[in-house]
Chains A and B, each alone.
Chain A
Amino acid sequence: MPPAPRHLLKDATAIAGIGQTALAKHLDPSETELAATAVTAALGDAGIAPSEVDALCSYTMEATDEVELARNVGTGDITFFGQVGYGGGAGCGVVGLAAMAVATGQARVAVAWRSRKRGSGPRPWTRPIAAPGDVPMRWTRPTGLLRPVDEVAMLTRRYMHEFGATRNHLANVALACRLHANRNPGAVMYDRPLTRDEYLAARWISEPLCLYDNCLETDGALAVVVVAAERARDCPQRPAYIHAFAQGLPRQSQTMTNYFCEDPLRGPSWTAAQLLWDRADVSPADVKVAQIYDAFTPLVLMSLEGYGFCKRGEGAAFTEGGNIALGGTLPVNTSGGGLSEAYVHGFNLITEGVRQIRGTSTSQVDGADVCLVTSGEGVPTSALLLRS
Chain B
Amino acid sequence: MATDERGMLIPVIDDENAGFWEGTAAGELRVQRCTRCERLRFPPRPMCPWCHSCHRQFVTVSGNGAIWSFVVAHPPLLPAYAALAPYNVVVVTLDEDPALRMVSNLVTRPGGPVNEVDPATIRIGEHVRAVFDPPNGAGIAMLRWMREAPVTGS
Contacts and interface: CB of A to CB of B under 8 A. Distances in A.
A211 to B, nearest CB: 10
A260 B8 CA distance: 24
Contacts of A71: none
Contacts of A128: 1-2
A158 B68 contact: yes
B64 interface: no
Interface in B1-59: 1-2, 8-12, 14, 17, 42-43, 49
Contact of A142 (B8, B86, B98, B100): B8
A157 B70 contact: yes
Interface residues of A, number: 36
A139 B89 contact: no
A157 B73 CA distance: 13
Most central of A131, A136, A145, A208 by chain B CB within 10 Å:
A145
B78 interface: yes
Nearest to B9: A142
Interface string A149-164: 0100111011001000
A146 interface: yes
Contacts, number: 104
A158 B69 contact: yes
30 contacts: A128-B1, A136-B43, A138-B1, A139-B11, A142-B11, A143-B103, A143-B105, A143-B142, A144-B81, A145-B71, A146-B73, A146-B78, A146-B81, A153-B71, A154-B71, A154-B89, A154-B91, A154-B103, A155-B69, A157-B124, A161-B69, A204-B74, A206-B71, A207-B119, A208-B71, A257-B103, A259-B91, A260-B99, A260-B100, A262-B98
Pairs of residues from A and B, 8 with the lowest C-beta to C-beta distance, nearest first: A158-B69, A207-B72, A153-B71, A142-B9, A262-B99, A204-B74, A157-B69, A140-B103
Given A138-B12, A207-B72, 18 more contacts: A123-B76, A139-B11, A139-B103, A140-B103, A141-B9, A142-B9, A142-B11, A144-B81, A144-B89, A144-B105, A145-B71, A150-B71, A150-B89, A158-B68, A207-B119, A260-B100, A261-B99, A262-B98
